[in-house]
Homo-oligomer: A and B are copies of this chain.
Amino acid sequence: MARLVLKFGGTSVGNIERIKNVARRVKAVVDAGNEVAVVVSAMSGETNKLVGFCRDIAPLHDAREYDAVVASGEQVTAGLLAIALQELGVSARSWAGWQIPLETDGAHGSARIMRIDTAEIERRMKEGQVAVIAGFQGIGPDKRITTLGRGGSDTSAVALAAAMKADRCDIYTDVDGVYTTDPRIVEKARKLDKITYEEMLEMASVGAKVLQIRSVEMAMKHRVRVQVLSSFEDKPGTLVVDEEEIVEQELISGIAYSRDEAKVTVLKVADRPGVAAAVFGPLADANVNVDMIVQNVADDGKTTDVTFTVGKADLALAIKVLEDNRQQIGFRDLHTDGNVAKISVIGVGMRSHAGIARQMFTTLADKGINIQVISTSEIKISVLVAAEYTELAVRALHTAYGLDAVA
Protein backbone atom coordinates (compact mmCIF):
# COMPACT_ATOMS: atom_id res chain seq x y z
CA MET A 1 0.00 0.00 0.00
CA ALA A 2 1.25 3.43 -0.91
CA ARG A 3 0.03 6.96 -0.55
CA LEU A 4 -0.25 8.60 -3.94
CA VAL A 5 -1.15 12.02 -5.29
CA LEU A 6 -2.46 11.84 -8.87
CA LYS A 7 -2.70 14.96 -11.01
CA PHE A 8 -4.76 15.24 -14.19
CA GLY A 9 -4.36 18.20 -16.54
CA GLY A 10 -6.91 20.06 -18.61
CA THR A 11 -6.79 17.78 -21.64
CA SER A 12 -7.28 14.70 -19.44
CA VAL A 13 -10.52 16.17 -18.01
CA GLY A 14 -11.54 18.03 -21.20
CA ASN A 15 -15.06 16.63 -21.38
CA ILE A 16 -17.51 14.44 -19.48
CA GLU A 17 -16.31 11.21 -21.11
CA ARG A 18 -12.72 11.99 -20.20
CA ILE A 19 -13.68 12.82 -16.62
CA LYS A 20 -15.37 9.41 -16.43
CA ASN A 21 -12.19 7.87 -17.85
CA VAL A 22 -10.10 9.60 -15.19
CA ALA A 23 -12.47 8.21 -12.55
CA ARG A 24 -11.80 4.70 -13.86
CA ARG A 25 -8.04 5.30 -13.74
CA VAL A 26 -8.32 6.57 -10.16
CA LYS A 27 -10.53 3.63 -9.15
CA ALA A 28 -7.90 1.19 -10.41
CA VAL A 29 -5.28 2.86 -8.22
CA VAL A 30 -7.65 2.81 -5.23
CA ASP A 31 -8.59 -0.83 -5.84
CA ALA A 32 -4.89 -1.72 -5.80
CA GLY A 33 -4.97 -0.76 -2.13
CA ASN A 34 -3.50 2.75 -2.23
CA GLU A 35 -4.45 5.91 -0.36
CA VAL A 36 -5.24 8.43 -3.06
CA ALA A 37 -5.57 12.18 -3.45
CA VAL A 38 -6.31 13.61 -6.91
CA VAL A 39 -5.48 17.12 -8.10
CA VAL A 40 -7.33 18.40 -11.17
CA SER A 41 -7.01 21.28 -13.59
CA ALA A 42 -9.91 23.08 -15.24
CA MET A 43 -11.46 21.43 -18.30
CA SER A 44 -9.31 22.38 -21.29
CA GLY A 45 -10.30 25.74 -22.76
CA GLU A 46 -12.15 26.78 -19.61
CA THR A 47 -9.34 28.78 -18.03
CA ASN A 48 -8.66 30.59 -21.31
CA LYS A 49 -12.36 31.44 -21.58
CA LEU A 50 -12.46 32.89 -18.05
CA VAL A 51 -9.20 34.80 -18.55
CA GLY A 52 -10.68 36.17 -21.79
CA PHE A 53 -13.78 37.39 -19.94
CA CYS A 54 -11.61 39.33 -17.47
CA ARG A 55 -9.52 40.86 -20.26
CA ASP A 56 -12.58 41.77 -22.32
CA ILE A 57 -13.97 43.78 -19.43
CA ALA A 58 -10.70 45.45 -18.48
CA PRO A 59 -7.24 44.73 -19.93
CA LEU A 60 -5.78 45.74 -16.56
CA HIS A 61 -7.97 44.11 -13.94
CA ASP A 62 -7.87 43.50 -10.20
CA ALA A 63 -5.85 40.29 -9.69
CA ARG A 64 -8.02 39.39 -6.70
CA GLU A 65 -11.16 39.37 -8.85
CA TYR A 66 -9.30 37.57 -11.64
CA ASP A 67 -8.45 34.85 -9.12
CA ALA A 68 -12.06 34.52 -7.94
CA VAL A 69 -13.22 34.18 -11.55
CA VAL A 70 -10.51 31.90 -12.89
CA ALA A 71 -10.31 29.50 -9.92
CA SER A 72 -13.91 28.46 -10.59
CA GLY A 73 -12.75 26.21 -13.43
CA GLU A 74 -10.90 23.81 -11.13
CA GLN A 75 -13.77 23.90 -8.62
CA VAL A 76 -16.08 22.55 -11.34
CA THR A 77 -13.75 19.73 -12.39
CA ALA A 78 -13.16 18.67 -8.78
CA GLY A 79 -16.89 18.40 -8.09
CA LEU A 80 -17.54 16.53 -11.33
CA LEU A 81 -14.72 14.03 -10.73
CA ALA A 82 -15.98 13.42 -7.18
CA ILE A 83 -19.41 12.63 -8.64
CA ALA A 84 -17.85 10.34 -11.27
CA LEU A 85 -15.89 8.47 -8.58
CA GLN A 86 -18.96 8.07 -6.38
CA GLU A 87 -20.83 6.72 -9.40
CA LEU A 88 -18.17 3.98 -9.60
CA GLY A 89 -18.67 3.21 -5.92
CA VAL A 90 -15.52 5.01 -4.78
CA SER A 91 -15.90 7.24 -1.72
CA ALA A 92 -14.77 10.75 -2.71
CA ARG A 93 -15.22 14.42 -1.95
CA SER A 94 -14.03 17.60 -3.62
CA TRP A 95 -11.90 20.23 -1.91
CA ALA A 96 -11.49 23.83 -3.03
CA GLY A 97 -8.22 25.50 -2.06
CA TRP A 98 -9.89 27.51 0.73
CA GLN A 99 -11.51 24.40 2.17
CA ILE A 100 -8.28 22.46 2.76
CA PRO A 101 -6.96 25.16 3.46
CA LEU A 102 -4.02 25.54 1.10
CA GLU A 103 -2.60 28.83 2.35
CA THR A 104 -0.62 31.07 0.00
CA ASP A 105 0.96 34.48 0.16
CA GLY A 106 -1.02 37.46 -1.10
CA ALA A 107 0.48 37.62 -4.60
CA HIS A 108 -2.82 37.22 -6.42
CA GLY A 109 -2.44 35.69 -9.87
CA SER A 110 0.92 34.08 -9.06
CA ALA A 111 0.72 33.20 -5.38
CA ARG A 112 3.27 31.01 -3.57
CA ILE A 113 2.17 28.20 -1.30
CA MET A 114 2.95 28.90 2.37
CA ARG A 115 1.28 26.09 4.31
CA ILE A 116 -1.09 23.21 3.66
CA ASP A 117 -3.11 21.65 6.44
CA THR A 118 -3.70 18.12 5.21
CA ALA A 119 -4.78 16.62 8.55
CA GLU A 120 -8.48 16.24 7.70
CA ILE A 121 -7.77 15.01 4.18
CA GLU A 122 -5.28 12.46 5.49
CA ARG A 123 -7.76 11.26 8.11
CA ARG A 124 -10.33 10.66 5.38
CA MET A 125 -7.80 9.06 3.04
CA LYS A 126 -7.02 6.53 5.76
CA GLU A 127 -10.73 5.71 5.83
CA GLY A 128 -10.61 5.06 2.10
CA GLN A 129 -12.01 8.37 0.85
CA VAL A 130 -10.40 9.90 -2.21
CA ALA A 131 -9.68 13.63 -1.86
CA VAL A 132 -10.39 15.39 -5.16
CA ILE A 133 -8.57 18.69 -4.93
CA ALA A 134 -9.02 21.74 -7.15
CA GLY A 135 -5.52 22.55 -8.38
CA PHE A 136 -4.02 25.95 -9.16
CA GLN A 137 -5.67 27.67 -6.19
CA GLY A 138 -5.39 28.52 -2.53
CA ILE A 139 -6.49 31.10 -0.02
CA GLY A 140 -4.50 34.24 0.72
CA PRO A 141 -3.88 36.14 3.96
CA ASP A 142 -6.87 38.32 2.99
CA LYS A 143 -9.09 35.20 3.04
CA ARG A 144 -9.68 35.56 -0.67
CA ILE A 145 -9.08 33.01 -3.39
CA THR A 146 -5.59 33.05 -4.88
CA THR A 147 -4.23 31.28 -7.96
CA LEU A 148 -0.71 29.98 -8.44
CA GLY A 149 -0.18 31.13 -12.03
CA ARG A 150 -0.28 29.11 -15.21
CA GLY A 151 0.50 25.43 -14.79
CA GLY A 152 -0.04 25.86 -11.07
CA SER A 153 -1.89 22.57 -10.76
CA ASP A 154 1.42 20.67 -11.08
CA THR A 155 2.72 22.76 -8.21
CA SER A 156 -0.43 22.10 -6.17
CA ALA A 157 0.02 18.37 -6.69
CA VAL A 158 3.70 18.29 -5.71
CA ALA A 159 3.12 20.56 -2.71
CA LEU A 160 0.28 18.33 -1.51
CA ALA A 161 2.43 15.23 -2.01
CA ALA A 162 5.16 16.86 0.08
CA ALA A 163 2.72 17.97 2.80
CA MET A 164 1.11 14.55 3.14
CA LYS A 165 4.41 12.68 2.70
CA ALA A 166 3.09 10.81 -0.31
CA ASP A 167 5.17 7.98 -1.74
CA ARG A 168 4.81 9.43 -5.22
CA CYS A 169 3.15 12.19 -7.21
CA ASP A 170 1.86 10.96 -10.57
CA ILE A 171 1.37 13.70 -13.15
CA TYR A 172 -1.01 12.37 -15.81
CA THR A 173 -0.73 14.31 -19.04
CA ASP A 174 -1.16 13.99 -22.80
CA VAL A 175 2.39 12.69 -23.31
CA ASP A 176 3.53 9.37 -21.89
CA GLY A 177 6.75 10.53 -20.29
CA VAL A 178 9.92 12.57 -20.65
CA TYR A 179 11.88 11.89 -23.82
CA THR A 180 15.57 12.21 -24.65
CA THR A 181 14.43 14.97 -26.98
CA ASP A 182 11.34 16.19 -28.84
CA PRO A 183 9.90 13.12 -30.66
CA ARG A 184 8.35 15.42 -33.26
CA ILE A 185 11.87 16.29 -34.42
CA VAL A 186 13.77 13.12 -33.71
CA GLU A 187 12.03 9.92 -34.68
CA LYS A 188 14.47 7.88 -32.62
CA ALA A 189 13.82 9.80 -29.39
CA ARG A 190 13.54 7.45 -26.42
CA LYS A 191 11.29 7.69 -23.40
CA LEU A 192 13.42 7.90 -20.26
CA ASP A 193 12.59 5.54 -17.41
CA LYS A 194 14.14 7.90 -14.90
CA ILE A 195 15.56 11.40 -14.85
CA THR A 196 17.03 13.45 -11.99
CA TYR A 197 15.34 16.59 -10.65
CA GLU A 198 18.31 18.66 -11.84
CA GLU A 199 18.09 17.34 -15.37
CA MET A 200 14.32 17.74 -15.44
CA LEU A 201 14.73 21.36 -14.38
CA GLU A 202 17.09 22.00 -17.27
CA MET A 203 14.82 20.11 -19.67
CA ALA A 204 11.81 22.13 -18.51
CA SER A 205 13.59 25.45 -18.72
CA VAL A 206 14.73 24.94 -22.30
CA GLY A 207 11.46 24.07 -23.89
CA ALA A 208 10.45 20.52 -23.05
CA LYS A 209 7.12 21.64 -21.64
CA VAL A 210 6.17 18.52 -19.73
CA LEU A 211 6.28 19.79 -16.16
CA GLN A 212 6.12 23.28 -14.74
CA ILE A 213 9.54 24.44 -13.53
CA ARG A 214 8.14 25.50 -10.16
CA SER A 215 6.73 22.06 -9.53
CA VAL A 216 10.09 20.42 -10.30
CA GLU A 217 11.90 22.85 -8.01
CA MET A 218 9.43 22.05 -5.26
CA ALA A 219 9.76 18.30 -5.88
CA MET A 220 13.55 18.60 -5.68
CA LYS A 221 13.41 20.66 -2.50
CA HIS A 222 11.06 18.26 -0.71
CA ARG A 223 12.40 15.10 -2.42
CA VAL A 224 8.98 14.17 -3.82
CA ARG A 225 9.20 11.32 -6.32
CA VAL A 226 7.30 12.44 -9.42
CA GLN A 227 6.10 10.30 -12.29
CA VAL A 228 5.05 11.77 -15.64
CA LEU A 229 2.69 9.40 -17.46
CA SER A 230 -0.11 9.25 -19.99
CA SER A 231 -3.72 9.68 -18.91
CA PHE A 232 -4.87 7.86 -22.03
CA GLU A 233 -2.60 4.79 -22.05
CA ASP A 234 -2.05 2.42 -19.17
CA LYS A 235 1.73 2.08 -19.00
CA PRO A 236 4.61 3.37 -16.83
CA GLY A 237 5.91 6.86 -17.53
CA THR A 238 9.11 8.62 -16.52
CA LEU A 239 10.18 8.89 -12.88
CA VAL A 240 11.71 12.17 -11.78
CA VAL A 241 13.81 11.30 -8.76
CA ASP A 242 16.89 11.89 -6.72
CA GLU A 243 20.23 11.13 -8.38
CA GLU A 244 20.93 8.31 -5.92
CA GLU A 245 17.84 6.47 -7.09
CA ILE A 246 19.29 6.13 -10.56
CA VAL A 247 21.68 3.20 -10.55
CA GLU A 248 22.81 3.22 -14.15
CA GLN A 249 23.13 6.90 -14.83
CA GLU A 250 23.60 7.73 -18.48
CA LEU A 251 26.16 10.34 -19.41
CA ILE A 252 23.66 12.50 -21.25
CA SER A 253 19.93 12.37 -20.57
CA GLY A 254 18.60 14.57 -23.30
CA ILE A 255 18.89 17.22 -25.94
CA ALA A 256 16.62 20.24 -25.52
CA TYR A 257 15.99 23.23 -27.71
CA SER A 258 14.23 26.56 -27.48
CA ARG A 259 13.27 29.00 -30.17
CA ASP A 260 11.85 31.47 -27.66
CA GLU A 261 15.00 33.55 -27.34
CA ALA A 262 16.49 36.49 -29.23
CA LYS A 263 20.09 37.62 -29.43
CA VAL A 264 21.18 41.17 -28.61
CA THR A 265 24.66 42.49 -29.31
CA VAL A 266 25.80 45.80 -27.86
CA LEU A 267 28.71 46.96 -30.02
CA LYS A 268 31.77 48.96 -29.06
CA VAL A 269 31.12 49.57 -25.42
CA ALA A 270 34.02 51.26 -23.63
CA ASP A 271 35.97 48.44 -21.97
CA ARG A 272 36.10 49.70 -18.40
CA PRO A 273 35.19 48.28 -14.98
CA GLY A 274 31.45 48.35 -14.39
CA VAL A 275 30.45 48.03 -18.01
CA ALA A 276 28.46 44.83 -17.33
CA ALA A 277 26.55 46.58 -14.56
CA ALA A 278 25.84 49.51 -16.90
CA VAL A 279 24.36 47.21 -19.52
CA PHE A 280 22.52 44.71 -17.36
CA GLY A 281 21.44 46.94 -14.47
CA PRO A 282 18.76 48.84 -16.42
CA LEU A 283 17.54 45.56 -17.98
CA ALA A 284 17.13 43.99 -14.54
CA ASP A 285 15.29 47.09 -13.35
CA ALA A 286 12.85 46.62 -16.24
CA ASN A 287 12.37 42.94 -15.30
CA VAL A 288 13.99 41.70 -18.51
CA ASN A 289 15.45 38.26 -17.89
CA VAL A 290 18.88 37.83 -19.50
CA ASP A 291 20.09 34.31 -20.23
CA MET A 292 23.34 33.61 -22.12
CA ILE A 293 26.05 36.27 -21.94
CA VAL A 294 29.41 36.61 -23.75
CA GLN A 295 31.78 39.50 -23.91
CA ASN A 296 34.55 39.99 -26.48
CA VAL A 297 37.30 42.54 -26.56
CA ALA A 298 37.05 44.47 -29.83
CA ASP A 299 39.91 44.91 -32.29
CA ASP A 300 40.88 48.31 -30.99
CA GLY A 301 41.55 46.90 -27.52
CA LYS A 302 39.66 49.80 -25.95
CA THR A 303 36.06 48.75 -26.52
CA THR A 304 34.18 45.51 -26.09
CA ASP A 305 31.15 43.82 -27.66
CA VAL A 306 28.55 42.36 -25.27
CA THR A 307 26.22 39.67 -26.59
CA PHE A 308 23.35 38.14 -24.65
CA THR A 309 19.94 36.54 -25.13
CA VAL A 310 16.53 37.56 -23.81
CA GLY A 311 13.08 36.02 -24.20
CA LYS A 312 11.61 36.94 -27.60
CA ALA A 313 8.63 38.52 -25.85
CA ASP A 314 11.02 40.88 -24.05
CA LEU A 315 13.09 41.89 -27.10
CA ALA A 316 11.27 45.15 -27.86
CA LEU A 317 11.44 46.18 -24.22
CA ALA A 318 15.15 45.30 -24.03
CA ILE A 319 15.92 47.47 -27.06
CA LYS A 320 13.99 50.37 -25.61
CA VAL A 321 15.75 50.10 -22.23
CA LEU A 322 19.19 50.04 -23.89
CA GLU A 323 18.43 52.97 -26.19
CA ASP A 324 17.04 54.95 -23.25
CA ASN A 325 20.33 54.35 -21.42
CA ARG A 326 22.62 54.82 -24.44
CA GLN A 327 24.40 57.84 -22.98
CA GLN A 328 25.05 56.17 -19.68
CA ILE A 329 26.23 52.87 -21.17
CA GLY A 330 28.12 54.48 -24.01
CA PHE A 331 27.89 52.07 -26.95
CA ARG A 332 28.15 52.62 -30.69
CA ASP A 333 25.55 50.27 -32.06
CA LEU A 334 22.95 47.67 -31.24
CA HIS A 335 22.35 44.49 -33.24
CA THR A 336 19.46 42.13 -32.59
CA ASP A 337 18.53 38.75 -34.06
CA GLY A 338 15.30 36.93 -33.27
CA ASN A 339 16.12 34.15 -35.66
CA VAL A 340 18.13 31.99 -33.28
CA ALA A 341 17.71 28.73 -31.37
CA LYS A 342 19.28 27.55 -28.16
CA ILE A 343 20.36 23.90 -28.25
CA SER A 344 21.23 22.25 -24.95
CA VAL A 345 22.87 18.97 -24.01
CA ILE A 346 21.81 17.91 -20.51
CA GLY A 347 23.08 15.23 -18.16
CA VAL A 348 24.31 14.93 -14.58
CA GLY A 349 26.94 12.52 -15.94
CA MET A 350 28.93 15.38 -17.46
CA ARG A 351 30.02 16.45 -13.99
CA SER A 352 32.43 13.50 -13.90
CA HIS A 353 33.25 13.21 -17.57
CA ALA A 354 35.45 15.41 -19.67
CA GLY A 355 34.99 15.75 -23.40
CA ILE A 356 31.25 16.26 -23.46
CA ALA A 357 31.57 19.86 -24.65
CA ARG A 358 34.20 19.01 -27.22
CA GLN A 359 31.93 16.32 -28.64
CA MET A 360 29.12 18.86 -28.97
CA PHE A 361 31.26 21.43 -30.76
CA THR A 362 32.77 18.80 -33.07
CA THR A 363 29.38 17.34 -33.95
CA LEU A 364 27.97 20.75 -34.85
CA ALA A 365 31.08 21.73 -36.80
CA ASP A 366 30.86 18.51 -38.80
CA LYS A 367 27.39 19.56 -39.90
CA GLY A 368 28.61 23.05 -40.79
CA ILE A 369 26.63 24.73 -37.99
CA ASN A 370 28.14 27.93 -36.64
CA ILE A 371 27.98 28.46 -32.86
CA GLN A 372 27.12 32.06 -31.94
CA VAL A 373 27.14 31.93 -28.14
CA ILE A 374 28.05 29.24 -25.63
CA SER A 375 26.97 28.94 -22.02
CA THR A 376 27.45 26.11 -19.57
CA SER A 377 26.21 25.00 -16.19
CA GLU A 378 27.28 22.05 -14.12
CA ILE A 379 24.98 19.65 -15.96
CA LYS A 380 24.21 21.51 -19.18
CA ILE A 381 25.97 22.94 -22.22
CA SER A 382 23.95 25.33 -24.36
CA VAL A 383 24.82 26.88 -27.69
CA LEU A 384 23.04 29.51 -29.73
CA VAL A 385 22.75 28.75 -33.46
CA ALA A 386 20.76 30.10 -36.39
CA ALA A 387 17.17 28.91 -36.00
CA GLU A 388 17.14 27.11 -39.34
CA TYR A 389 19.66 24.56 -37.99
CA THR A 390 17.49 23.55 -35.01
CA GLU A 391 16.30 20.14 -36.21
CA LEU A 392 19.60 19.26 -37.84
CA ALA A 393 21.55 20.12 -34.67
CA VAL A 394 19.18 18.26 -32.33
CA ARG A 395 19.22 15.12 -34.49
CA ALA A 396 23.01 15.15 -34.90
CA LEU A 397 23.61 15.55 -31.17
CA HIS A 398 21.01 12.90 -30.32
CA THR A 399 22.94 10.42 -32.43
CA ALA A 400 26.37 11.59 -31.34
CA TYR A 401 25.63 11.03 -27.63
CA GLY A 402 24.21 7.57 -28.32
CA LEU A 403 20.64 8.45 -27.39
CA ASP A 404 18.96 7.03 -30.49
CA ALA A 405 16.53 4.21 -29.78
CA VAL A 406 17.57 0.84 -31.13
CA ALA A 407 15.08 -0.08 -33.83
Contact = CB atoms under 8 A, between A and B. Distances in A.
A65 B93 contact: yes
A73 B73 CA distance: 10
A58 B89 CA distance: 12
Contacts of A84: 57-58
Contacts of A56: 16
Contact of A68 (B19, B20, B94): B94
A117 to B, nearest CB: 13
Nearest to A88: B58
Given A58-B87, A61-B83, A87-B58, A50 B69 contact: no
Interface residues of A, number: 36
B69 A53 contact: no
A376 interface: no
Interface of A, helix, strand, loop or mixed by DSSP: helix
A192 B405 CA distance: 81
A75 interface: yes
A62 B78 contact: no
Interface in A128-163: 143-145
21 contacts: A16-B56, A54-B80, A54-B83, A57-B83, A57-B84, A58-B83, A58-B84, A62-B86, A65-B79, A65-B80, A65-B82, A65-B83, A65-B93, A66-B83, A68-B75, A68-B94, A69-B80, A69-B83, A72-B72, A75-B75, A96-B145
Leading 5 A-B pairs by shortest Cβ distance: A69-B79, A72-B72, A68-B79, A58-B87, A65-B79
Given A16-B57, A53-B76, A64-B93, 19 more contacts: A19-B57, A54-B79, A54-B80, A57-B83, A57-B87, A58-B87, A61-B83, A61-B87, A62-B83, A62-B86, A68-B75, A68-B78, A68-B79, A69-B75, A69-B76, A69-B79, A72-B73, A96-B145, A99-B144
